[in-house]
Structure 1
């Protein structure tokens, strides 16, 4: 990913006259907003700076032609009860509880996601299922030792056959690298139901056992996932949140950051900095005081862009699921979702839309492709799924999301750790967030980290 050339400014000037803030939050995405929300509740003074004209980062809801859609197939999972209560307090009756399964589109058929052994048997047929079973047993006998790559992990856990069908090709599309070059951690908890125990439970108990491992229950805001970011921003307070404020320099003495330079001109004195900016950007802003040996680590960090194509449809419904995943290489997209399946108020009566995610790099042609061409191309591909007719397509639009995902290459944890260790010399710098910490996190994770970090800082107050 490319950024505007950053400035590192040492020896802060004594002529800076702006009022010093106790905390300066860099970045108005979910991590920055979560920290600000809990900082306000704790009575801490802060200012939040966001480079773009709006807050929310990649947790935003767009509105086009009366249709609402998020910047991804976002969901809020009840994985941290305390953070779930926090979101419920913020949204009240606007937070809906959903129970919608997801699917995989594979060779013209729909497969349950996460993978269900009994459903796989029904979809693949006897011969293919036996082959997948033998592959599974072989992998457990031969793939031993440390799981140093996602490919090793996937084959070891599910067998070469299933890994090739549903995991490796999909992950390469998503991250832009083959599974042999990706961290095992990118798998998360997906496909956790694919095992012999679940197969027998499904066989003898049916849907009751199947529902126990399918990841279909979550919370969702009535008017889109962006409502969470909007409520967090409102909680921070309009006077504490500033947009169109790009961080272009950090003034420091090699031990402490004394001021933040904004838009190449304004200097804001600070007591403590909370950075949710991309880790590579934070490091480059402070590069003059970092060991030269971490320069290669900083340059190696990569982010994946996403092209989001929205198709507007003149029909009430297109699918019945939360998301549909596309591992097959013949489809450029990785995931498609229909917003109205999460909340009926995402589309007016008689209309719906499909949001299509296409991960890419800045050098890829799709990142620069004409919007109209993209809409027509995606519509032609998805029409084969049977979701809509040609005469029901009522246009579309394209949104480009830079740096949507940190690319978790094999070995990246060690590189990130070395960068973090180097940045730890700045005693008043805290790094948070998906891009800041360079790890794949969810909204409940960012709320938890924001809460715990504020609690830690508050305990240090005199």
Structure 2
């Protein structure tokens, strides 16, 4: 039987599914709703300027993923970038991941005393009580860092970037994303020195554009600006329509579009209770404002987190510390990316360059740049950037997953949005690769990708 799979989405998951299918001798059709390649991991280009919307560190423990990355770009197109992140609290830069030495030397005396006391109390409680596993991020953070240091570094940041009360956010992602305090007291902490990541010279999209070219050379039809609007399944064949009038058919459907939207466009439609739980799934949107300043400011970090209420921005990328090739040759100023998190229906989503520019200028002043000479402003919008892990997410996703397995056996949700799971880039890829294996009859469960409680990003994977 001829295999004719369809893929929705040309981000890391969709393209990885395409690469694995072609490796096995099958040519899929890919539908991408935008005019870009790479999803959130794209590189937006504006003249000689390049924008990474989300700051993508390339790290994996999977040799399978590492081999795929290396196969797409030659070695001279990869950079080894030391991780140098910090949190800006009370006008003080504190390195992140948090190190005990920095907390003791860089914070104000009051923050040291209150923080150390709260941390010691939290440690004592964990050792002397049998506590249930923390279910909310707030519970997890107070238990891990103590109340004061949790509130100083994480509470405001999570409220700002997740757009929800930390008490109403599940904690399951925290162990993978947030490292505990390191208490090595020497000046040359070996763990920090080894924290190095790969990064494509011209931004993350360079890798995914290479993947798209490889697929096109193999005969894969990648249709951009083709948003899927309906997906009909007759028990054997999928028929997908797009907003530009395409009608494509296939024997299987791999979908990296938001799971909530996928459920709404299925035909025959799932029952009302499945559509209701799907409607509860929420996403965060992201607006990245890239700002080039004529003056050089010494920010010795590639990523700055801003948990304080005095900042509107959630994170700031220092692009020249990611790659000098993200800005024009000869540019000696400062090139920053301001990341603003919002819900998809918030007014800020529709703000024009002037309105966003005013917000950025206020944040620049908070950074201490009193008279910044702005040379260029560039804006990138990502509507469904990150799935929100709230208490309803686990129950809803399991019910949807089980229903889809039973009634649409040749439907394969993949990736961060397709499975509504806050995955790393390599996990999104693995979910797609495993789904292709399932398509070929292998006894694998793609939903088990990235279920480890701990997955810390550290060290250069070669």
Indicate the residue corresponding to 2:174 in structure 1. Answer: 187
Indicate the residue corresponding to 2:371 in structure 1. Answer: 390
Deviation at 1:257, TM superposition (A): 4.5
Matches within 5 A, 1:22-421: 22-92=4-74, 93-142=76-125, 144-194=131-181, 198-199=182-183, 201-202=184-185, 206-208=186-188, 210-213=189-192, 216-237=195-216, 239-240=219-220, 241-253=222-234, 255-263=235-243, 265-286=245-266, 288-316=268-296, 318-348=298-328, 349=330, 350-386=332-368, 388=369, 390=371, 392-421=373-402
SS in 2 for 1:110: strand
Indicate the residue corresponding to 1:12 in structure 2. Answer: none
TM-score in terms of structure 1 length: 0.88
Deviation at 1:256, TM superposition (A): 4.4
Indicate the residue corresponding to 2:456 in structure 1. Answer: none
SS in 1 for 2:300: coil
CA distance in 2: counterparts of 1:96 and 1:353, whole angstroms? 18
Task: Check whether the contact 1:30–1:57 (CA below 8 A) recurs between aligned residues.
Answer: yes
SS in 2 for 1:184: coil
SS in 2 for 1:438: coil
5+ residue gaps, structure 2: 444-462
Deviation at 1:53, TM superposition (A): 1.9
> Deviation digits for residues 366-413 of structure 1, max 9, x if unmatched?
222231232133123223324x56253213122221111111112311
CA distance in 2: counterparts of 1:191 and 1:301, whole angstroms? 23
- Alignment RMSD (CA, Å): 2.3
Task: Check whether the contact 1:50–1:243 (CA below 8 A) recurs between aligned residues.
Answer: yes
CA distance in 2: counterparts of 1:219 and 1:361, whole angstroms? 31
Indicate the residue corresponding to 2:457 in structure 1. Answer: none
> Deviation digits for residues 79-113 of structure 1, max 9, x if unmatched?
32331222122111201111131011111010010
Flag the 1:61–1:207 CA change in 2: closer, same or farther, 3 A. Answer: same
Task: Check whether the contact 1:375–1:398 (CA below 8 A) recurs between aligned residues.
Answer: no
5+ residue gaps, structure 1: 1-19
TM-score in terms of structure 2 length: 0.88
Task: Check whether the contact 1:308–1:357 (CA below 8 A) recurs between aligned residues.
Answer: yes
SS in 1 for 2:435: helix
Task: Check whether the contact 2:230–2:267 (CA below 8 A) recurs between aligned residues.
Answer: no
Deviation at 1:437, TM superposition (A): 0.2
Deviation at 1:355, TM superposition (A): 0.4
Deviation at 1:191, TM superposition (A): 4.1
Deviation at 1:242, TM superposition (A): 1.4
Flag the 1:358–1:40 CA change in 2: closer, same or farther, 3 A. Answer: same
Task: Check whether the contact 1:375–1:397 (CA below 8 A) recurs between aligned residues.
Answer: no
Task: Check whether the contact 1:256–1:426 (CA below 8 A) recurs between aligned residues.
Answer: no
SS in 2 for 1:55: coil
